[in-house]
Chains A and B, each alone.
Chain A
Amino acid sequence: MSTETRGSTRFVIIVALLGLAMVGLVIRLVVLHLGSPEQDRATSAKTRTFKQTLTVPRGRILDGSSSAGILALNVGVKDIWADPSVLLASNLVSRTVKSLSSLLEFDTAEVTERLCRTNSRFAYIARLVPDEKADQVEILKLPGVHMDDASTRSYPQNSLLCQVLGFVNSDGVGSWGLEQLMEKYLKGSPGLIESRLDGHRREMMDRRIREVPAKDGADVILTIDQNLQYIVEKALDSAMERNRARAAFVIMQRIRTGEILAMASRPSFDPNRYREARDPQKINRAISHTYEPGSTFKVSVIAGALDAGVVKPETMFDTENGRWLYQAKILRDYHAYPRLNVADILKKSSNIGAAKIAIMLGNERMDRYLRAFNVGGKLGIDLPGEEGGIYPAVAKWAPISSSRIAIGQGVSVTGLQMLSILCTIANDGVVMKPYVIKQVVAADGTVLLRRQPEALRRAIRSDTAALMSSLLARVCEEGGTGTKAGVEGFRVAGKTGTAQKVIGGHYSETDYMASFVGFLPVENPEIGMIVVFDEPQPLHTGGAVSAPVFGEIAEQVVRYLGIIPAEGSVPAHRAAPSASNETF
């Protein structure tokens, strides 16, 4: 064999071997990529695949003012936890607890006990830690200490509007008030990322398997104005202190639309610390608490009698000098009058006069009018926990019932129902559905829900409503029971109420519900408001306790809302506050 031939053969062999090696590598590559056994592939996929749920911020709750103040929003926080096995192995438990206790607030004994559990690899040190504090912890670079992202609901205005807003529980679910009612809009929908990890357990973006984008929670915009709410709550707090009342509430409504502008209830709580709140603090008394309305209820019966044409404002009634025996029961007036006409029965709040009007109206007609005013039924406000009140069916009325219902006894209503009666009169006799949610707007700006004013029904004729407005305005004028509700430059219409509370099945002689419900301006009504105090002391009448609060709030509200007094309206008489000037 020649030298050339031998050299050529060796070259071919080498090339062939290299070729074979290359082919082998290619085959191995193909096998690794496509053809590895099923089990290996499954194990590999399991260890190198991860799924991450993308939590979304819950939607905000905004007020209805032009500045759209934020009433509730989600804020990012951190959950700080440790791996006890790491801390124990390096004998760092006490040092870690000491370092962290200077920055965070926690029970050191409890946390130390948790970190000393030998069989555990996870123990919370502190939850919902603000980012600023978490950053300080991070600087310490403590071994075995880790942080997870979390979020918490924050209410920047603290207790303002607390019962209406409600709160979110530790699982992030709305559990009270609007947070509960609007859960489906506020919570949004979480996203998902499914992807593969590299050898350093980092996500390989090019191997992302699935990505479902998260949908942020929608914003809920209320009709309630935070400035009006503040005015109301401030006045209510000072009146609560002044009158040493057990509880109180105020509702303010826009007459023509039914929008609720403010709703406050006392006692209250801070939703940022909802765990510390007791049940009575969480109750929204404005819609959930039913009470016998007392004299304020006379408005509905007298309006019905005028509408039915049974009486006229000048129709005279014998008011029996303040003491009348009817169906073997005595009915008394707070101030004794021998005779009063319908207009003065309302102005002086005569029980006997109102009872006689109710008897003249008759049970059936009275029932029809009361139901038209929505007595005994829910108004359907967009808040959880609304009560419908207690109103017996007319068939079950005793002979004395109409005379007692006419003065607000034997019937229970919510503050919202009572306000609705006055607002109906102010709104030309049309009952409007009250609402607190103006609209719901998605994160991308799409309007998901827009509420429009909704008329429920006509309760009385327009001319009767106008007549009732003028009669109710007299209540707040000289000689009426509601003079303290007056607002300078405006004519105010309203009615006082002082209801004895039923305690142990009997009407109490010491515990009262003092209320005032009214609207203004009489000529072109803009706002209606009810103020109710539960067991005020020492003054206990609506005229002395609630009417001044109405006046105090209304005085500021007309200026804030820019309500213009009607041409030629006479400045209201405002009696000087006096402890002895009790009115019924």
Chain B
Amino acid sequence: MIKKNRKKTQTKFPVPIPLVALVLVLAGLSLVYVCLQSRTETLGREIKLLEASRDRLRDQLVRDQCEWARLQSPSNLEQALKQHGLVMTWPNRDQIVRIRYDGSLDTPRGLDSRQASRVARADRIVMNVN
């Protein structure tokens, strides 16, 4: 009697290797696609948020510019000075010292030479000198 061969016979892999490879590649590509899609969507949402934030900041800037222009307007400045009891007038001709490029002075009447040189050192236009 012939002894039964109990050694398991070597069976061939039932699915073709190229098909498996194709499926794996497709699965990989799908995974990459989903990842990229998700990342893009996240970036899109961030861009939208930043755009909205930019628009809000721009609106705020314009409103502040408008308010600043109103505050800086000559009529508002005058009103503010009045409100705080500050009296400002243009200086009279004899209250202005002009310093020329050559260093000489156009001294106001009544300003002695010592005062004039002090003024020249100060390098500025003196107002309201009495």
Chain A residues with a Cβ under 8 A of chain B: 4, 8, 11-12, 15, 19, 22, 26, 57, 67, 69-71, 73-76, 131, 154, 156-158, 160, 202-206, 226-227, 230-231, 488-489, 555-556, 559-560, 564-565
9-residue interface stretch from B62-70, B80-88, B115-123: B62-70
- The reply to whether B90 and A75 contact each other, CB–CB distance below 8 Å, is no
Q: How many residues of B contact A (CB 8 A)?
A: 33
Q: A15-B14, A131-B63, A205-B43 known; A160 and B75 CB under 8 Å?
A: yes
Q: Inside 8 A of A22's CB, which chain B residues have their CB? A: 23
Q: Knowing A69-B73, A73-B62, say if A203 contacts B44 (CB, 8 Å).
A: yes
Residues of chain A within 8 A (CB-CB) of B9 are: 4
Question: Chain A residues near B15 (CB, 8 Å)?
Answer: 12, 15
Contacts of A560 in B (CB 8 A): 90
Q: Which residues of B contact A15 (CB under 8 A)?
A: 14-15
Contact B69 A73 (CB under 8 A): yes
Q: Secondary structure of the B side of the interface?
A: helix
Is A565 within 8 A of B93, CB to CB?
yes
Given A67-B72, A69-B69, A157-B73, also A76-B14 (CB < 8 A) = no
Q: From B40, B59, B91, give the contact of A205 (CB < 8 A).
A: B40
A-B contacts, 26 listed (Cβ < 8 Å): A11-B14, A12-B15, A22-B23, A26-B26, A71-B69, A75-B63, A76-B59, A131-B63, A154-B66, A160-B73, A203-B48, A204-B41, A204-B44, A205-B41, A205-B44, A205-B45, A206-B41, A206-B43, A226-B73, A226-B74, A230-B73, A230-B75, A231-B74, A488-B93, A489-B93, A559-B90
Is the CB–CB distance between B63 and A70 below 8 Å? no
Contact with A along B45-66 (1 / 0, CB 8 A): 1011000000000110011011
Q: Check B66–A69 contact: CB distance below 8 A.
A: no
Q: A203-B44, A205-B40 are in contact. Are A157 and B93 (CB under 8 A)?
A: no
In the bound complex, CA of A244 to CA of B19 (Å) = 101
Contact B48 A156 (CB under 8 A): no
- A205→B47 contact, CB < 8 A: yes
Q: How far apart are the CA atoms of A15 and B11 in the complex, in Å?
A: 17
Beyond A75-B66, A556-B90, 15 additional contacts (C-beta under 8 Å) are A8-B11, A8-B14, A70-B65, A74-B62, A75-B63, A76-B59, A131-B63, A156-B66, A156-B69, A158-B75, A202-B48, A205-B47, A226-B73, A489-B93, A565-B93
Task: Give me the interface of B with A, judged by CB distance under 8 Å.
Answer: 9, 11, 14-15, 19, 23, 26, 37, 40-41, 43-45, 47-48, 58-59, 62-63, 65-70, 72-75, 90-91, 93, 98
Choice from B19, B26, B73, B91 contacting A156 with Cβ under 8 Å: B73
Most A CB atoms within 10 A — which of B48, B69, B70, B72?
Answer: B69
The residue that A227 contacts in the complex, of B44, B74, B98, with Cβ under 8 A, is B74
Q: How far is the CB of B48 from chain A (nearest CB, A)?
A: 6
Complex: how many Å from CA A430 to CA B58?
A: 47
Contacts of A158 in B (CB 8 A): 75
* Contact partners of B48 in chain A: CB under 8 A: 202-203, 205
Residues of A near B23 (CB, < 8 A) are 22
Q: Give the distance to chain A from B11, nearest Cβ to Cβ, in Å.
A: 7
B59: chain A residues at CB < 8 Å are 76, 131
| Residues in B whose Cβ lies below 8 Å from that of A67 | 72
Interface centre among B19, B44, B65, B67 (most CB of A within 10 A): B44
Query: What separation, in Å, do the CA atoms of A203 and B73 have in the docked complex?
Result: 43
Contact B43 A19, beta carbon cutoff 8 Å: no
Distance in angstroms between the alpha carbons of A205 and B52 in the assembled complex: 14
| B70 and A19 contacting across the interface, CB-CB below 8 Å | no
Contacting residue for A70 out of B47, B66, B74, CB 8 A: B66
Q: B2: shortest Cβ distance to chain A, in Å?
A: 18
